[in-house]
Amino acid sequence: PFACFLPWQLIHLEIKPAIRNQIIRELQVLHECNSPYIVGFYGAFYSDGEISICMEHMDGGSLDQVLKEAKRIPEEILGKVSIAVLRGLAYLREKHQIMHRDVKPSNILVNSRGEIKLCDFGVSGQLIDSMANSFVGTRSYMSPERLQGTHYSVQSDIWSMGLSLVELSIGRYPIPPPDSKELEAIFGRPVVDGAEGESPSISPRARPPGRPVSGHGMDTRPAMAIFELLDYIVNEPPPKLPSGVFTQDFQEFVNKCLIKNPAERADLKMLM
């Protein structure tokens, strides 16, 4: 069958030629990837300060684009997303001994055949570091241990997947967590959290002074600064799905992904 190719300019990199060449060499490893859960990669080149890649065309776009149109993505669809992401991560680890390192809604693509695939994963630590220094969005999905500069493993990708699932479920980046008024605006009815039906709790400390980048019109505060956001990820309780809206199984799945201690966080085998 005929494959569509999409040249995509990845990022402008202010790097030394030796590092640039290393990135190009490492990207060639992607030629060897062959999985129904990984976007096809056909080559990379450097020109005029830009690294570009040629990749399989996914006509449904990325999940962050889908979210803008749909407002929220149903749990049954997110179940299929979870399976695809886990299988993609398992393939990268088992067949190529690499992590993704940048799981987020914009790097999960869909097409009109109903396929769900990961793209833009980092065989190159140099490339990911360059991207992380340039894009706030990349850091926003990093695990606490990675933000703290400690050793991280595929468990970090699991955290990023869990955070992405909460975002796709409620319709916006989940830090800081929505309060009861915003939850009611999101779901069209009062939403409670916790086993005893208490109001949704967002943190032991006072509500953060900044609002999320995207919301539902309930919040007029200035947006959270990036350092405030990263501090919140490291030091505050992780996001969770509100009770009474999603199934217990889905809530538990997400909770296992968002355990702050990576040694206690679910791994690929446990989740699959």
pLDDT on residue 247: 97
* Residue numbers annotated as active site: 102
CA–CA separation, 227 vs 214, rounded Å?
Answer: 17
pTM of the model: 0.83
Closest Cα to residue 32, out of 86, 108, 105, 97? 97
SS3 167: helix
pLDDT on residue 199: 43
pLDDT on residue 120: 76
**How confident is the model over 200-223, as pLDDT tens digits?**
444 444 445 555 555 444 555 567
Q: Which residues of the chain have pLDDT under 70?
A: 1-15, 22, 24-26, 28-29, 49, 121-137, 193-222
Q: How is the beta sheet containing 108-110 ordered, strand by strand?
A: 61-62, 108-110, 116-118
pLDDT on residue 204: 41
pLDDT on residue 25: 65
Q: Residue 83 contacts by C-beta under 8 Å, 6 or more apart in sequence? A: none
pLDDT on residue 22: 67
pLDDT on residue 254: 98
CA–CA separation, 267 vs 251, rounded Å?
Answer: 16
Q: Give the burial class of 169: count Cβ atoms within 10 A of its Cβ; 0-12 exposed, 13-18 middle, 19 or more buried.
A: buried
Give, for 42, the enclosing helix (H) or strand (E).
strand 41-47
Q: Give the burial class of 249: count Cβ atoms within 10 A of its Cβ; 0-12 exposed, 13-18 middle, 19 or more buried.
A: exposed
Q: Which two tokens stand for residue 75?
A: 């749990």
Percent of the chain with pLDDT over 70: 73
Q: Residue 62 contacts by C-beta under 8 Å, 6 or more apart in sequence? A: 105, 106, 107, 108, 109, 110
Q: Give the burial class of 119: count Cβ atoms within 10 A of its Cβ; 0-12 exposed, 13-18 middle, 19 or more buried.
A: buried
Domains and CATH numbers, the chain: 59-271 (1.10.510.10)
**How confident is the model over 15-46, as pLDDT tens digits?**
677 777 767 666 766 778 899 999 988 877 77
